[in-house]
Amino acid sequence: MTPITVVFDLDGTLVDTAPDLVNATNHVLAGIGLPAVPEAVLRPVISIGSRRMIEEGLSYHGRTLEASRVDEMWRALLAYYADNIAVDSRPYPGVDAVLDDLQRQDIIIAVCTNKLEGLSRQLLSALGMARRFSAICGRDTFQVCKPHPDHLIGAITAAGGVARHAVMVGDSDTDVSTAKAAGIPIIGVGFGYSEIPMRDLEPDALIGHYREFPAALRRLQER
């Protein structure tokens, strides 16, 4: 019998990384003399990427910079973030119990994220979670990244799974678009960083807490 593979997005799905990402963004904004931007302003664009967080912070203060200057700030952000990657980031409530349950069932679990692979591994290792996953695939693991379906399919293959027996879990429109393009059902989480409410993105199943995950997965398996 072919095992099921469950592929998780990382930021906003497995781990609430907003505090450390916001701190890193405000660190580089402070470097050009700008006050801190509230987390509520930056949180909705986390799923788009850290460079976009800088752009959002600049916009909040009515500032624009040349792309080359933003690139410099982005590199500085990544360096600072790497040194402070798990200060306040924590797995969402119920994540550990869900991963334990999946492993007991011999379900393959993997990560497919648009975070750089090295930072993804560093974060998950710092939180004691990296060993759980058969594959951790970031935006630079393959030649494509989400929303390209081959990023998700590549993660499934790298984990030893089969796409037709896979489910994705994500928090953003990028995740939903990726899963639909790959023909893979998706469980959307309503507590992540999406600019658009997850319900409006019409995932195959929707959860508001990981305690609801087992029932959602069973419903998809029964289809």
Residues marked as catalytic: 9
In the structure encoding, which two tokens stand for residue 157, read together?
Answer: 């293959």
18-30 vs 67-83: helix crossing angle, rounded to 10 = 130
- The single residue listed with the structure tokens 């974060």 is 123
Distance CA 42, CA 57 (A): 7
Length of the chain, please? 223
Distance CA 55, CA 36 (A): 13
